[in-house]
A and B are shown apart, each in its own frame.
Chain A
Amino acid sequence: MREVLKILEQDARTSPAQIAAMTGLAEDEVRRLIAEWERSGVIRRYKTVVDWERFGEEKVYAYIDVSVAPERGAGFDDVASRIYRYPEVRSVMLVSGGHDLRVVVEGAGIKEVANFVAEKLAPLDRVTATNTHFLLKRYKDDGDIFVESDSDHRLMVAP
């Protein structure tokens, strides 16, 4: 069963028939499992990994370390939720170490991202500091390698 998820995680377009062939499960069973996971939220959604740069579209990404002032009775959830509701925010994570939240923001240009930080993020209540890192080159992201991959060096026929 876990196999089905592993296959979909690699390629969301693998059809139930193919998955059935690959796992030995019945096709109906695969459909039923997927439907159940879609309902229960184990499968959150299907998406495509796009290399926008190769498409010719420049996007700017910033990784922002956000420090949040601690306050009795309030965790980080309220601050986090005020941040993640912005559509330009790609991810928000609570992390250990010198800062509290690690926020990833996407924008059409440096200025747009800088404005977001200055006008939306920094002024938030309890946000005491931000530290912005602009992305320079993406080598690997979420398991996908974005630079040229190795080709197959094998001979055509081998014993």
Chain B
Amino acid sequence: MKPLNQVVSATPPSGIRRLFDIASQMQDVISLGVGEPDFVTPWRIREAAIYALERGYTTYTSNAGLLELREAVCSLQRALYGVEYDPQQETLITVGVSEGLDLALRAIVNPGDEVILLEPCYVSYQPNILFAGGTPVPVASRAEEGFRLRPEAVEAAVTPRTKAIMLCYPNNPTGATQSRVDLQAVVDIAVKHDLYLISDEIYDRLTYVGRHTCVASLEGARERTVLLNGFSKAYAMTGWRIAYACAPRPIAALMTKIHQYTMLCAPHIAQRAALEATLNGENDVREMVADYDRRRRFFVRGLNAIGLDCVEPTGAFYAFPSVRRTGLTSEQFAERLLQEERVAVVPGNAFGASGEGCVRCSYATSMAQLEEALARMRRFMERNRVFAEQEAKATTG
């Protein structure tokens, strides 16, 4: 038969998949590999969805989504970050931020355009850029620098073909957030070189230190930014597939056009649930965030205590410790930790080459499981800490 699509065929499968296959064959595994909340969706939201079903809200909605929901998310963004979007012309309800990413890239990228992405980053960015016909240009951030955004490295990656920069803070997988100053510096680069910005702020509410900076609120950003956000993380609604995109009118119009022909609309019941979440979910969000924060502090301290050096993650629900003391690569570490101690973590290189040397651990798991996971990892580290003694000698001698 004729060859299938060459871009898709050439894209490697997700690095997360293989580990998943091994882990799901095993018993008694503690998984720190899950990139979603361990809460079920708060009851008030589930109840609103049940009610919506009973009322028969089983139809299509307008392409852009329920106007009430668009108005509600615009009010939320205004209240939180002072950004103003027109619910009619600049806001689109999407099937997850996943769809929003795809739409933004397809609306912006022409074949051959380069898109800068800041690695380590969410696994979908590279493939989405490729599927949109673009060329991903990774810029690395480093554990030694706390995964700080390096505006100078971003600017160095700009070429005449650069079209957009993708940002994601708080970050999956590092848990890093960025200072307003550094984010503004990236916006300034975008302004200087006339680039678009795609800002995936799905973890905005899960910010534990300082306040979240909405990229669209920065000076010069709004007219060139696609702001993506959703319900999956803050409201524990991953399975509902519901999110939103805000962008200036010309971009929003193109995104809506693609969405109209490929998706028609986001699921109606999920939109009703999301409306309840936006209007009445605030206390639930606060409770969940407070809970993650306790686990975050506990877990990160535990990692550092057993020699898995970890810069403080200030957002999302991930820690991204370095495995350098074991002398193993991230993949070797993840595979041996799973085989020997039955703890699943995700090798850092799944999130880009610069994630090598680290592993992603999600602390969206009960305290009891985190404690047990740390105990197992401690045993593993006691057997595999090859560099500890040499280093101790180096510092004392």
Bound complex: CA A48 to CA B254 (Å): 59
In the bound complex, CA of A2 to CA of B19 (Å)? 40
Chain A residues near B153 (CB, 8 Å)?
A: none
B32 and chain A: residue at smallest CB distance:
A157
The answer to the question of A108 belonging to the interface, with a C-beta cut-off of 8 Å to chain B, is no
- Is B344 located at the chain interface by the 8 A CB criterion? yes
Give min CB distance, B148 to chain A, whole Å. 21
Would you call B297 and A159 a contact (CB within 8 A)?
no
Partner of B298, one of A21, A150, A154, A157: A21
Q: Which of A22, A23, A155, A157 has the most CB of B within 10 A?
A: A157
- Whether A158 lies near B35 (C-beta < 8 A) is yes
- For B16, what are the chain A residues with a Cβ–Cβ distance below 8 Å? 157-159
- Interface: A3 (CB within 8 A): yes
A150 touches B34 (CB 8 A): no
B33 pairs with A157, CB closer than 8 A: yes
Complex-state Cα separation, A154 to B239, whole angstroms = 10
- Choice from B29, B33, B40, B294 contacting A158 with Cβ under 8 Å: B33
> Quick one: given A157-B16, A158-B16, A158-B36, are A23 and B122 in contact (CB under 8 Å)?
no
Shortest CB-to-CB span from A9 to chain B, Å, is: 12
- Determine the chain B residues whose CB is within 8 A of the CB of A3 once the complex forms: 290, 294
- B33 and A156 contacting across the interface, CB-CB below 8 Å: yes
The number of residues on chain B lying at the interface, defined by a beta carbon within 8 Å of a beta carbon of chain A, is 28
Interface residue from B34, B172, B294, B295 paired with A156 (Cβ < 8 Å): B34
Contacts A158-B16, A158-B34; A24 near B297 (Cβ below 8 A):
yes
Distance in Å from the Cβ of A155 to the closest Cβ of chain B? Answer: 7
B123 contacts A159, C-beta separation under 8 Å: yes
Residue of B nearest to A14 (CB): B367
Whether A128 sits at the interface, judged by CB under 8 Å, is no
* Count of interface residues, chain A, beta-carbon cutoff 8 Å: 17
Chain B residues with CB under 8 A of A18: 298, 367
Q: Shortest beta-carbon distance, A154 to chain B, in Å?
A: 5
Q: Mask for A3-23, Cβ within 8 A of B = 1, else 0?
A: 100110001000000100111
Asked if A51 is at the interface of the complex by the 8 Å CB criterion, the answer is: no
Interface residue A71 (Cβ < 8 Å from any Cβ of B): no
Which residues of chain B are near A150, meaning CB under 8 Å?
40
Q: Which residues of A contact B24 (CB under 8 A)?
A: 155-156
Question: Do A154 and B40 touch across chains, with their CB atoms under 8 A apart?
Answer: no
CA distance A8 to B34 in the complex (A): 27
Contact indicator B122/A159 (Cβ below 8 Å): yes
Interface residues of A in 122-159 (CB under 8 A from B): 150, 152, 154-159
Please, which residues of chain B bring their CB within 8 A of the CB of A156?
20, 23-24, 29, 31, 33-34, 344
C-alpha spacing A150/B29, complex, angstroms: 19
Say if the beta carbon of B14 comes within 8 Å of chain A: yes
A22 touches B297 (CB 8 A): yes
**In the complex, what residue of chain B is closest to A22 when comparing beta carbons?**
B294
Give Cα A11–Cα B122 distance, bound, in whole angstroms: 35
Distance in angstroms between the alpha carbons of A23 and B40 in the assembled complex: 24
Q: Inside 8 A of B20's CB, which chain A residues have their CB?
A: 155-157
Q: Is the CB of B34 within 8 A of A154?
A: yes
Provide 28 A-B residue pairs closer than 8 Å at the C-beta atoms, listed in order of the A residue: A3-B294, A6-B290, A7-B294, A18-B298, A21-B298, A21-B301, A22-B298, A23-B297, A24-B297, A150-B40, A154-B31, A154-B34, A154-B36, A155-B34, A156-B20, A156-B23, A156-B29, A156-B31, A157-B16, A157-B19, A157-B20, A157-B23, A157-B31, A157-B344, A158-B33, A158-B35, A159-B16, A159-B124
Q: A7-B294, A156-B24, A156-B34 are in contact. List 15 more A-B contacts (CB 8 A).
A: A18-B298, A18-B367, A21-B297, A21-B301, A23-B294, A152-B38, A154-B31, A154-B34, A154-B38, A155-B24, A157-B20, A157-B344, A158-B33, A159-B14, A159-B124
> Chain B residues in contact with chain A, CB under 8 A?
14, 16, 19-20, 23-24, 29, 31, 33-36, 38, 40, 122-124, 172, 290, 294-295, 297-298, 301-302, 344, 346, 367
Q: Which residues of A contact B (CB under 8 A)?
A: 3, 6-7, 11, 18, 21-24, 150, 152, 154-159
